């Protein structure tokens, strides 16, 4: 029986303190994210990762010594596999740390495949995330094809599902489950920022983030809300307002109960566990916010797994 392969694409994160520097090197070597001349990209990535490694290791020490993203993504893959059944083969391909795309293709190379579906765990599309993962997949896929694997196996790409009705419902239910008294809170949605020049070149990420937030808020007509961006790197201009500055602005306005909702992440990692929980939680308290809550990411929420299932079956 031929199977359909589902490749879950995600960023990945260091699984030990020793992995932090090579993880950063892989990240800064990616031309889809850091656009500097290719001839100097790897030496520059080596230098940046060496400089940043020690400080970044401190973040991961606070998080327990590693990123939980690998385990959480594998749990998502297992749940999706269960709900799809044995006509499918679900594997994980991380962009910057194990299991890499090459490892995912190794898992699939001896399977009898009808097609491969690339399913990003980024609900909103950006060339820096989903686009980069697609590019890496096809680089590795071509290498395997040259070795005689995956002949005549078509590949389908899922670009985004930022407005999928069940994904929106998953976000809504997750908020309500995390905050039984949600009507008392101001909602601050936080998404990973991007350099403005990327958006100006036509990247749809910012508009898709805004649409996701708008669709979620249709279920919360009584709550006030805003959208901000986090995790800026480097000197160029990035999407604003920044989440930390928005927290301070809201505190000055007299907001006492604040719920921060990560809107572009579906598993926990440094941006949620260190930035949102540790850094911004501390900042909120110091600024005078009395009740700071952070809504968890979707992880294996049944409605999120159902979203992924529906997307896959629609492409099968």
Report the C-alpha gap between 299 and 269 in whole angstroms: 11
Per-residue pLDDT tens over the stretch 39-95: 999 999 999 999 999 999 999 999 999 999 999 999 999 999 999 999 999 999 999
**Single pTM value for the model:** 0.96
Q: How many domains does the chain have?
A: 2
**Residue at token pair 């306005």:** 253
In this structure, what are the phi and psi dihedrals at residue 84, rounded to the nearest 5 degrees? -80, -35
**Residue at token pair 């961006």:** 229
**In a domain? residue 285:** yes
* C-alpha dist (Å) from residue 131 to 85, 147, 254, 259, 297: 28, 25, 40, 30, 22
Report the C-alpha gap between 53 and 207 in whole angstroms: 33
Please give the average per-residue pLDDT across 177-202, as a whole number.
97
The enclosing domain of 247 has a CATH number of: 3.40.50.1400
What would the 3-class secondary structure string for 163-183 be? CCHHHHHHHHHHHHHHCCCHH
Range of the domain at 55: 20-62
pLDDT of residue 33: 83
**12 and 95 Cβ atoms separated by less than 8 Å:** yes
**In a domain? residue 160:** no
**In a domain? residue 177:** yes
**In a domain? residue 200:** yes
**In a domain? residue 153:** no
**In a domain? residue 245:** yes
Same domain? 56 vs 171:
no
Per-residue pLDDT tens over the stretch 92-151: 999 999 999 999 999 999 999 999 999 999 999 999 999 999 999 999 999 999 999 999
**In a domain? residue 304:** no
**In a domain? residue 260:** yes
HSE at residue 265, side-chain half, CA atoms within 13 A, is 28
Report the C-alpha gap between 207 and 166 in whole angstroms: 19
Domain endpoint, select from 46, 62, 78: 62
Q: At 218, list the tokens.
A: 């249709």
Question: How much is the mean pLDDT over the chain?
Answer: 97
**262 and 270 Cβ atoms separated by less than 8 Å:** no
Per-residue pLDDT tens over the stretch 276-289: 999 999 999 999 99
């Amino acid at each position: 029986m031929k199977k359909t392969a589902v490749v879950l694409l995600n960023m990945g994160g260091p699984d030990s303190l020793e992995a932090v520097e090579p993880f950063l090197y892989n990240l800064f070597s990616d031309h889809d994210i850091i656009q500097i001349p290719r001839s100097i990209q790897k030496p520059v990535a080596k230098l940046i990762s060496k400089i940043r490694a020690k400080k970044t290791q401190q973040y991961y020490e606070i998080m327990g010594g590693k990123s939980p993203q690998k385990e959480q993504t594998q749990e998502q893959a297992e749940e999706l596999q269960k709900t799809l059944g044995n006509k499918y083969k679900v594997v994980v391909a991380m962009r910057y740390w194990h299991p890499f795309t090459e490892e995912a293709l190794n898992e699939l190379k001896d399977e009898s495949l009808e097609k491969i579906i690339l399913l990003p765990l980024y609900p909103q599309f950006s060339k820096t995330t989903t686009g980069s993962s697609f590019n890496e997949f096809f680089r590795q896929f071509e290498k395997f094809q040259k070795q005689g694997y995956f002949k005549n196996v078509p590949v389908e790409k899922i670009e985004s599902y930022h407005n999928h009705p069940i994904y929106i419902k998953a976000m809504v239910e997750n908020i309500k489950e995390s905050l039984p008294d949600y009507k008392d809170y101001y909602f601050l949605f936080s998404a990973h920022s991007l350099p403005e020049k990327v958006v100006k070149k036509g990247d749809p990420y910012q508009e898709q983030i805004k649409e996701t937030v708008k669709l979620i808020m249709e279920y919360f007509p009584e709550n006030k809300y805003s959208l901000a961006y986090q995790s800026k790197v480097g000197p160029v201009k990035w999407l604003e307002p920044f989440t930390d500055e928005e927290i301070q602005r809201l505190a000055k306005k007299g907001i006492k109960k604040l719920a921060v909702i990560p809107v572009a992440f579906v598993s926990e990692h440094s941006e949620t566990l260190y930035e949102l929980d540790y850094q911004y939680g501390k900042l909120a308290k110091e600024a005078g916010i009395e009740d700071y809550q952070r809504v968890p990411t979707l992880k294996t929420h049944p409605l999120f797994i159902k979203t992924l299932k529906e997307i896959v079956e629609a492409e099968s």
